Structures are given as C-alpha cells and as structure tokens.
Amino acid sequence: MMVNMTSTVPFGVYLHWPFCLSKCPYCDFNSHVRHGGIDEARFVRGFETELATTAKRIGARTVSSVFFGGGTPSLMQPASVQTILDAIARHWSVAPDAEVTLEANPTSVEATRFRGFRAAGVNRVSLGVQALDDAALKELGRLHSVQEALDAVAVARSIFQRYSFDLIYARPRQTLDAWAAELKRAIAEAAEHLSLYQLTIELDTPFAGLHAAGKLTVPDDDLARDLYDLTQAICAEAGLPAYEISNHARPGAECRHNLIYWRGHEYAGIGPGAHGRLNIGDRRVATETEKRPESWLMRVEATGSGLTVDDKLTPGETADEFLLMGLRLAEGIEPARYRALCGREIDPKRVAVLHAEGAVETTADGRLRVTQSGFPLLDAVVADLAA
C-alpha cells in the first residue's frame, strides 16, 4: 500500500539550502554563491510557505527523518533551522526518535554554530571533509585545511552523538598506498558512518574543462576499481561495511533519511531544486522545484510552491525507480515488492544471465542483490534489469 498514515511507515523531509561561500570546481549540485549576501529571513519564510502547501496537499504524516542538504546548510543561522523545524512540527507529527541531519562544511566558522544547531533539534551532522591531504584540498578548491576539518570533526563529536563525514577518492595522482593511509586515518576519526565517493567528472564543471584539456587526469578504470576494492576491504575490516555503494556504517548506524530514498519510501522535497516523491492516493508523484534560488522564492511567494515538476509516475516507472535505488543497497530488493508495484516479475531471463555472470545473487530469504564484484558495474546491471 502506498498510503502512509502510520508512524511505522518512514516519511522524510528534505530541505535544500542552495548557498555556498564558493563553488568547488568538481561540484554540480544546485549551489550558488551570493557575494552580496542573501535575505535569509525571506528564504526561511519561503521554506515555511512551501512546507505548509505540501502538508495541505498530502495530509497527516509522521516524520521519521529531516535532512538539511545543500549547498551549505551550515551557513544558516541556528534560529533559521529552528524556525523550519518548528514549521515541520506544526504540520505533521514528528516521531520521538526522528533523525535530523544537517550537512556542514568543516570550517571553524560553521563549527561555532554546531551547539546552536543541536539546540534547534539537529541530532546528526554530515561534514564534507573531502580529503585528509592539504594539497588535495587545495586542488579541490576547498576553503578549509586538514587541521581545520579535523577540528570541526572534534567539535561535532563533542556535541552530536551521531556524525558522519564525506571523503572523495580516486583523485588525480592518488595511489593505492596513499589512499589506504588516508582512509585509515579517517576511520580513526569516524564514529559510526562514512560516505566515500569516487571523484566524478561532472559535465559543465571547471573540472570537466580541465579534464577535456588534458590538465586533470583521474585514475583509469583499473586503478579506480582497485581503489574501490581497497576501500571495501579496509572499511569492512574496521567494522564499517558498505550498506550502499558509497556509504559505510556500523550496523544500525545507517543514515535513516537516505535509506528512505533507496528503499523507495516517501519524502517531501522543499527548497530550490529539491526533489520529492509523494504518495498521493494510490499514485507515486515525482516533484521537483525551480533551481534558481531567487526564482524559486518568487514562485513560492506568488503561488505557495516552487514546483516545476509534479508528475504521476506510472507503475512501470515506479517499479524501475525502485530497482534503480534499491540495488544500490547491500541488502538489495524484495522481488515481491517490484511485482506488487508493476504487476510483473523482473525479467527472469535477464536475472539468470546476471546470476551466471556473478553480478547479482539471491539471498536465502529471496532478496535480489548486486554482488561485491557486480557493484562497480551497478549502472550496467540496473540498465539491464529495468524495463
């Protein structure tokens, strides 16, 4: 059933804060630099308005997680975070154990706000450390040093029971030995969760231009594969196995909000460029909002919402999305849920071929999952299985 009225069904709220102090040359997230500053109070009112409109549309829910992503939400004033969390609690009930995460850049300025974020109701931070190597941080265009990042992690540790940090690997000139040492140092600083992303050269970024001009070389496929395998081995050994292709956690410490995406549950997307998946009646609805912050704000002020996409997904689209997201997880998917969504089996012939190739396996309880050796080929596996 898609209708979500009970507290046992996860429901997440994603809020996108689209501003950064500077634009990192590898990043294609919806993030904007405004040297003249922004009218934060006005944007916060925009968030309150869009929350009210969404709540009116979908009705009662119990919020199991809230995620402030960006951009750089740690640039917000704690009072703004408080105002938004209060608005969420006015419209929906919030589970007593709700996970409330905020993404933070690890600079000293932002770390000074951590106590205020906790007082506002944030109970988990995710820090964009990116590298434990000062030359690499510089090349990535980051505004912080290794020491500053580690200091921010220490502040996070002293304030929040739950914190995570991100690293980017498969960087230019990175060797297996250097990454192994860096990752082990990171694990010593990590508590329960680490996000480890292979550097992706995103279209239309300065890195894409440098790459095309031959001025930025990333590891070839073989080295990237070895770096990935090394990452899995070191993290598993340290008790932080991958529960998703790029996310590692001690069992039970997974990011519950992100699990909502990967397990195909419901979430509202609020703020410029936010995506949502809402269960309305018996249909799953995909939403997307205007990306440009000022245009989003004007739309919200004029109409109550910044929606630019509001599409009912067909059962086939819903099922394919479930496959696409669910196969990212180490736990894989329940084929019965796929069947319930679209009324047919995942193509048994294609599954058999992937089984024979060792790319997927069926667990004792009947789940279908990608194997360790299949994970680096995930996109191809999913493309094969999707209708």
Ligand X SMILES: C[S@@+](CC[C@H](N)C(=O)[O-])C[C@H]1O[C@@H](n2cnc3c(N)ncnc32)[C@H](O)[C@@H]1O
Which does residue 12 bind out of ligand X, ligand SF4, none, counting CB within 5 to 8 angstroms by kind?
A: none
Q: How far apart are CA 230 and CA 63, in angstroms?
A: 37
Residue 208 CB, nearest distance to ligand SF4 (Å)? 14
Find all residues with CB under 8 Å of 259, minimum gap 6, and list them: 10, 265, 329
Residue 120 CB, nearest distance to ligand SF4 (Å)? 21
Which does residue 202 bind out of ligand SF4, ligand X, none, counting CB within 5 to 8 angstroms by kind?
A: ligand X
Residue 19 CB, nearest distance to ligand SF4 (Å)? 8
- DSSP class of residue 99 equals E
Nearer to ligand SF4, 10 or 272 (CB): 272
Nearer to ligand X, 102 or 346 (CB): 102
Which does residue 219 bind out of ligand X, ligand SF4, none, counting CB within 5 to 8 angstroms by kind?
A: none
Q: Cβ(305)–Cβ(51) under 8 Å?
A: no
Residue 126 CB, nearest distance to ligand SF4 (Å)? 11
Which does residue 197 bind out of ligand X, ligand SF4, none, counting CB within 5 to 8 angstroms by kind?
A: ligand X
Distance of CA 189 to CAs 135, 154, 156, 193, Å? 20, 8, 11, 10
Nearer to ligand X, 19 or 92 (CB): 19
Nearer to ligand SF4, 27 or 156 (CB): 27
Q: How far apart are CA 187 and CA 235, in angstroms?
A: 8
Q: How far apart are CA 209 and CA 268, in angstroms?
A: 35
Residue 183 CB, nearest distance to ligand SF4 (Å)? 20
Per DSSP, what are the bridge partners of residue 162? 124
Nearer to ligand X, 200 or 295 (CB): 200
Question: Whose CA is closest to 143, among 47, 24, 253, 38?
Answer: 24
Dihedral sign from CA coordinates of 289, 19, 50, 297: negative
Which does residue 166 bind out of ligand SF4, ligand X, none, counting CB within 5 to 8 angstroms by kind?
A: ligand X
Range list of β-strands (E), 133-181? 162-169
Amino acid at 129: V
Residue 255 CB, nearest distance to ligand SF4 (Å)? 17
Residue 129 CB, nearest distance to ligand X (Å)? 8
Which does residue 23 bind out of ligand X, ligand SF4, none, counting CB within 5 to 8 angstroms by kind?
A: ligand SF4
Return residues touching ligand X (CB under 6 A): 26-27, 29, 69-70, 72, 103, 105, 128, 130, 166, 168, 197, 199-200, 202
Return residues touching ligand SF4 (CB under 6 A): 20, 23-24, 27, 29, 31, 70-72, 105, 128
Which does residue 168 bind out of ligand X, ligand SF4, none, counting CB within 5 to 8 angstroms by kind?
A: ligand X
Nearer to ligand SF4, 82 or 105 (CB): 105
- DSSP class of residue 314 equals P
Q: Cβ(14)–Cβ(269) under 8 Å?
A: yes
Q: Cβ(43)–Cβ(68) under 8 Å?
A: no
Question: Residue 93 CB: number of other CB atoms within 10 A?
Answer: 13
Residue 152 CB, nearest distance to ligand SF4 (Å)? 13
Tokens of 210: 């440098």
Tokens of 80: 């703004």
Residue nearest to ligand X (CB): 128
